[in-house]
Amino acid sequence: MSNGKTTGGSAIDPSVVGTGSQPAGDLGPLPGYVGYNLRRAQIASFKHLDRIAGALELSPGQFSLLTFLDRNPGVSQKAISRAFGVDTSTLSPVLAALSARGLLRRGRASHDRRNYAISLTADGRRRLAEMRRQIEAQEAVMDAALDAGERAQLLEMLGKIAAAMERA
């Protein structure tokens, strides 16, 4: 499927591709790749978030997890794993670390003692609220870079890309 642009760089205006400072060398076709630009945007976003919220010591992934737990108290590790598309073995150390920091608690589920019910602690809710304020400040910076309507378009396009990659 062609959209009229090539990944060789000649059909793409370099003034509208990429973010940040000029590269130290020739990037070849990289600026024309969606994946490359997604990664650059992610890196820039993570660096910005670390500058404004580093003292909270929560990664974007941990923020997402705490947000999910806030909306789904008592959820199982298996349900979290399904929601985020990660293996439970990948999730276990993250949950253990957040539990050790007092941000969440894991107790046996009353309906099935083989599973854990995972919920935020009061400290977890406080830290989440602080981080949410920083995330919303970051969202405002990103929104300021977009014209009216572009945010909705961007979110729609990113959703399409995610769905296509999951199907591929």
Please tell me the predicted confidence (pLDDT) of residue 113: 66
Q: Which tokens is 1 given?
A: 């499927």
CA neighbor of 19 nearest in space, from 30, 9, 7:
30
Q: Is there a contact between 115 and 77 (Cβ–Cβ < 8 Å)?
A: yes
Is residue 40 within 8 Å of 19, Cβ to Cβ? yes
Cβ atoms of 112 and 104 within 8 Å: the answer is: no
The pLDDT assigned to 111 comes to 73
Kindly report, residue by residue over 70-103, the tens digit of the pLDDT: 999 999 999 999 999 999 899 999 999 999 999 9
Domain ranges of the chain: 54-168
- The CA–CA distances, whole Å, from 139 to 34, 78, 136 equal 21, 30, 5
Give backbone dihedrals phi and psi of 135, rounded to 5 degrees, phi first: -60, -45
* Chain segment 118-155, per-residue pLDDT in tens: 999 999 999 999 999 999 999 999 999 999 999 999 99
For residue range 13-69, list pLDDT tens digits in order.
444 444 456 668 899 999 999 999 999 999 999 999 999 999 999 999 999 999 999
Which CATH number describes the domain made up of 54-168? 1.10.10.10
Distance CA(69)–CA(28), nearest Å, equals 43
The model's pTM is 0.78
Q: pLDDT at residue 11 above 50?
A: no
Is the confidence at residue 5, as pLDDT, over 80?
no
Q: Which of 64, 61, 60, 89 is nearest to 77 (CA)?
A: 89
Nearest Cα to Cα of residue 58 among 97, 22, 29, 19: 97
